Chains A and B, each alone.
Chain A
């Protein structure tokens, strides 16, 4: 959202002919890209400022690009407008010229006419005089002519004046509408401001006179949006104008808004609209809405797919903003009907459709604002499942608002967990938790927020907690320099304006907790074979040696492969590994400043000129090094690598001679031309995890499975949702993969230079 705000100021001032969604669409698209890039960078650095610089260096100037997109989109309209302006100017000049000419003609004409009239009068006067003389000479009674009358007077012109009548005014506005969407929307609001019966009468009367499709759409929209505040009693009647409009585009808008009233999607069943309308004819609008809600809930409970599909709407404003609808929903039992529908969220392999349905159900729950008992029963289990739930954010949002302040301590503890023990990209989780907590308007949260910022001091907390958590409670705007120390200083200077107990609260010291956690990672940096470039961390060595020796996972992190991944890798060891495992995290050596950007883990097949050893040699050296001090179970030595760490894992596991019995590869490419022949992998096991949404195409892991299976290895591919990165039940997926490897792996080929230790499962 920070990126999004930047674009609004980068664009030129809004124009009347600008499409309604243009700037929002541009900002959303570019902000999404930058946010993805930011998440990528933050995997390899804790320095948020450096990450941002890297993102912008790769992206280019986002303001310039946003302006260019806007201009490209508006080019046609701007040119059209310029042509229109030029045409209008020419027309205006021509009109003025014609008017001047006409005036002069009229003036001359008047003079001419006046002259004619004068002559005529003179002539008539003479004629009358003559006739009088003649008649006077005539004998009376015979063809006696009337006495000449005086020339008739021309009555003065009567000028009509029009009264300033709202009916006339609104009608005129409607008739004059062009494709200016703002004017049309304003005209719709003008009708809304009139007494309801008058407003709907004017609209019906003038609907056919509204020439432009976009204007009719905007008027429908104005009435539809009345659901957010004072629901217009004829909103359904206005939608009927849209539904019976000749333009399918107007109908489409009306259908969209009708979902909030009819709880049906008539786009899928247009004829159903007439049936619905007949069913509810002559009923008051509120009654229609409640009856429609009731029908929908019944269909939802019966498992009707069209009813469930409607659940996946982003928002049902009538439920959200109309108290009578929320009350009706409670009375009808919608919360109870939704309760089983959110259960699939707990399933680790929920499908995308199931997840979308759960999100919709959660949105409806949030709109209805159920009581604490319901929320504890239905929502807290989802939230408590942790940040790996695909609907965690949506579930959290249902807890927004002071009425849910009972959840304060639970969510605060969760925020601590997310910040101090990060399991994955925590950006969205921190933002949402901070925002929901801030909605409780509890100033005693301020010291806790500040403590978390101070303990972390990355972009996630300085911005995420600073803006979403602290700003609503303090009024202090976001600034990237407002780190933990700044906020501590601020608290000391400003705490007095807050009531007790907040005022007396000290800022907790979480620094000790972080250090303790680092110790708890139970790892130390070693150098394999004494080679200072072959650095690795060893986890789990404190545990007692299992009967047949330790099983071993050698981890090659993605990104830049640096030691920064130690926290996440430590979590893998604690949460994902079965008992009896050691974990070795390799730290990618940096051979020269250019190398990490190009090849993080150079191999025999993808060399780097200044490298002193290949990653295959590094892995084998680490295994040998560990074997010097720990008895290893040779049947269960695996390498695990993700993203940039994937290819070297393939390369090592496909060597002719290796101590690896299997490999676990996640979100990675597969380049067989860089590896030893696949036949070497015969008898070994490969577990491959990949998301179809990943920018790395599915054909890579699919080819890997195909190639390795054909060569006699055991290989399987599992997918997950979410794209490149760790998403969903991360540690569950890792554990599952290791268990598969244990069962699928067969005895490795005996390496020539090593002796196998006896081992069992």
Chain B
């Protein structure tokens, strides 16, 4: 996939996953890939700077959990501010996609 199409959508993908429940980095990466059927060929590690940025922005907050394997695992939870940001981004994406499809004559695909 052209990586330029992905630019700016990573935040939305992460927030979308978190909107369905608290999650941790590996799980988020796997969910994005499973639900997109691997279409987004993200390097798994590239999620982490985005996750940390979202945390600093207050769109999600983090907490640590001890796993049964003796590791610490950092979970993320979407905040109300993050939920609002996700809603905005979804609307923006929808308008963008619709506009592009309109130009390309592909509006019937959305039906």
Contacts and interface: CB of A to CB of B under 8 A. Distances in A.
Contact of B24 (A32, A61, A65): A32
A8 to B, nearest CB: 15
A748 B30 CA distance: 37
Contact of A722 (B25, B46, B68, B72): B68
A724 B70 CA distance: 17
Interface string A44-75: 00000000000000111110010011001100
B87 interface: no
Contacts of B67: 32
Interface in B1-54: 20-21, 23-31, 34, 38, 43-46, 48-49, 52-53
Contact of A35 (B20, B52, B64, B71): B71
Nearest to A698: B21
B26 A37 contact: yes
Given A32-B67, A60-B43, A722-B68, A695 B30 contact: yes
A28 B48 contact: no
Given A29-B48, A427-B69, A697 B74 contact: no
Contacts of B53: 72
Contact of B45 (A28, A61, A72): A61
A72 B49 contact: yes
A390 interface: yes
Contacts of A727: 68
B53 to A, nearest CB: 7
A510 B61 CA distance: 50
A138 B47 CA distance: 106
Secondary structure of the A contact surface, majority rule = helix
Contacts of B70: 393, 428, 432
A85 to B, nearest CB: 24
A390 B68 contact: yes
A316 to B, nearest CB: 15
A28 B75 CA distance: 12
B73 interface: yes
Most buried by A among B21, B53, B69: B69
Nearest to A599: B37
Nearest to A314: B66
Contacts of B30: 695-696, 724
B71 A59 contact: no
Nearest to A699: B20
A630 interface: no
A697 B19 CA distance: 12
Most buried by B among A33, A61, A65, A390: A33
Contacts, number: 90
A63 B23 CA distance: 23
Nearest to A24: B72
B25 A35 contact: no
A25 interface: yes
A32 B72 contact: yes
A61 B45 CA distance: 8
A427 B23 CA distance: 23
A25 B46 contact: no
Contacts of A33: 24-26, 29, 44-45, 48
Contacts of A58: 43-44
B69 A428 contact: yes
A321 B53 CA distance: 40
Nearest to B27: A695
A31 interface: yes
A69 B20 contact: no
A163 B70 CA distance: 53
A25 B71 contact: no
Interface string A691-704: 00001110100000
B21 A697 contact: yes
Interface in A721-738: 722-724, 727
Contacts of A699: 20
Given A28-B71, A35-B69, A723-B27, A669 B45 contact: no
B21 A393 contact: no
A60 B24 contact: no
Instruction: Give the contact-size bracket for chain A.
Output: 35 or more
Contact of A37 (B20, B21, B34, B44): B44
A363 B74 CA distance: 22
A520 interface: no
Most buried by A among B20, B66, B67: B67
Given A69-B49, A427-B69, A59 B44 contact: yes
A73 B48 CA distance: 12
B38 to A, nearest CB: 7
A647 to B, nearest CB: 11
A36 interface: yes
A215 B50 CA distance: 32
B26 A36 contact: yes
Nearest to A697: B20
A598 interface: yes
Given A60-B45, A696-B34, A25 B74 contact: yes
Nearest to A598: B38
A73 B53 CA distance: 9
Contacts of B34: 669, 695-696
A30 B52 CA distance: 12
Contact of B74 (A29, A393, A428, A722): A29
Contact of B26 (A25, A393, A598, A695): A695
Nearest to B21: A697
Interface string A196-219: 000000000000000000000000
B44 to A, nearest CB: 5
Contact of B52 (A61, A73, A432): A73
A25 B73 CA distance: 9
Contacts of B23: 695
A35 B67 CA distance: 12
A560 to B, nearest CB: 15
Contacts of A62: 45
A62 to B, nearest CB: 6
A483 B72 CA distance: 29
B27 to A, nearest CB: 4
Contacts of B52: 69, 72-73
Contact of A393 (B25, B56, B68, B72): B68
B74 A32 contact: yes
Nearest to B25: A33
Contacts of A59: 43-45
Contacts of B56: 72
A723 B28 CA distance: 13
A730 B43 CA distance: 32
B66 to A, nearest CB: 7
Contacts of B44: 33, 37, 58-60
Contacts of A72: 49, 52-53, 56
Contacts of B26: 32-33, 36-37, 695
Interface of B: 20-21, 23-31, 34, 38, 43-46, 48-49, 52-53, 56, 64, 66-74
22 contacts: A28-B72, A28-B74, A29-B72, A29-B73, A32-B67, A32-B73, A32-B74, A33-B26, A33-B44, A58-B43, A58-B44, A59-B44, A60-B44, A62-B45, A72-B49, A73-B52, A314-B66, A669-B34, A695-B26, A722-B68, A723-B27, A724-B30
Interface of A: 25, 28-33, 35-37, 58-62, 65, 68-69, 72-73, 314, 390, 393, 427-428, 432, 598, 669, 695-697, 699, 722-724, 727
Across the A-B interface, give the 8 residue pairs with the lowest CB-CB distance, nearest first.
A60-B43, A60-B45, A695-B27, A695-B30, A36-B26, A65-B45, A33-B26, A428-B69
Given A28-B71, A29-B72, A697-B20, 18 more contacts: A28-B64, A28-B73, A29-B73, A30-B45, A31-B71, A32-B24, A33-B45, A36-B26, A65-B45, A72-B56, A669-B34, A695-B28, A695-B31, A696-B31, A696-B34, A699-B20, A722-B68, A727-B68
